[in-house]
Amino acid sequence: MTNKNTKKDALNKSPFFISYFITDPGEFGNTNESLEKNLSKSLSKHQVNMLCFRDKESKDIRSLAKTALNVSKKYNIPKVLINNNLELALELGFDGIHLTSTQFDKIKIAKLNNLYTIISCHSEDEIRLAKKLGSDAVTYSPIFFKENKGSPKGINNLKNMVEKYQDKNFSIIALGAIVSDVQVMQIQTTKASGFASIRYFRNGLFYL
């Protein structure tokens, strides 16, 4: 097997339990300086094996995406994704992409370009469709209650989705108001592939 194929295979395999850090400009900054500083603080404190640069507000997305990618590589994050932007994912060399729940039509394109592909899901029908279309993983949310995010799915529902759809080629990652280790341990009991959060990775940090 060639080195290229080996790397490709590695990118399409998930660790035993995924610790998925999703960024947000309101929490980690919308300038290169603040983003680099705050990501570095988080990554030096938390164990992270997957990171997604997510910014739907800032104007200079390309420059900020490069900063997020560079900082992640500095901390040896195995998989670095970008939210919804296929063009930048390919141009800048991200390992994968996190598609929104309106981008099911982009799963095939992402996979044809060898991107590790996650899509946001909020129902069983969406999980079933994501698996059928070849997505590597989904985030399933909201698991816990968060204001203005709809009724929480809860741990029992998450466990049911894991038992019905998750396998060695398809990961279900819990998302939604996950801010504590207690919640992470609850998620682990369901045998979900991992958890994703913004605020969990911000907690305990001091910003200047």
Return mean pLDDT, the chain: 90
> Residue 136 pLDDT > 90, yes or no?
yes
Q: Closest by alpha carbon to 57, among 37, 79, 84? A: 84
pLDDT (mean) for 64-89: 97
How many C-beta atoms lie closer than 10 Å to residue 168's C-beta?
Answer: 7
* pLDDT > 70: percent of the chain: 89
- Other C-beta atoms closer than 10 Å to the C-beta of 54 total 19
Task: Reply yes or no on whether the pLDDT at 84 is more than 90.
Answer: yes
Neighbour-count burial for 110-127, b at 16+ CB within 10 Å, e otherwise = bbeeebbbbbbbbeeebb
- Tell me the pLDDT tens digit for each residue of 12-71: 444 469 999 999 999 999 999 999 999 999 999 999 999 999 999 998 999 999 999 999
Bridge-partner residues for 124, per DSSP?
none
Closest CA to 180 of 153, 144, 156: 144
Spell out the residues 6+ positions from residue 180 whose beta carbon is closer than 8 angstroms to its own.
Answer: 200, 203
Quick one: which H or E segment has residue 63?
helix 61-74
- Percentage of residues of the chain with pLDDT beyond 90: 85
pTM strictly above 0.75? yes
Residue 203 has pLDDT above 90, yes or no: no
pLDDT band at 146 (very low <50, low <70, confident <90, very high): confident
**H or E, element range at 28:** helix 25-28
Dump pLDDT digits (tens) for 111-134: 999 999 999 999 999 999 999 999
Please tell me the predicted confidence (pLDDT) of residue 53. 98
Please check the confidence at residue 137 and state whether its pLDDT lies above 80.
yes
Interior angle at CA 166, CA 111 and CA 157, nearest 5: 125
Instruction: Band the pLDDT of 90: cuts 50, 70, 90.
Output: very high
Phi, psi of 157 (to 5 degrees): -65, -40
Query: At how many degrees (to 10) do helices 154-165 and 124-133 cross?
Result: 30
pLDDT computed for residue 149 by the predictor: 67
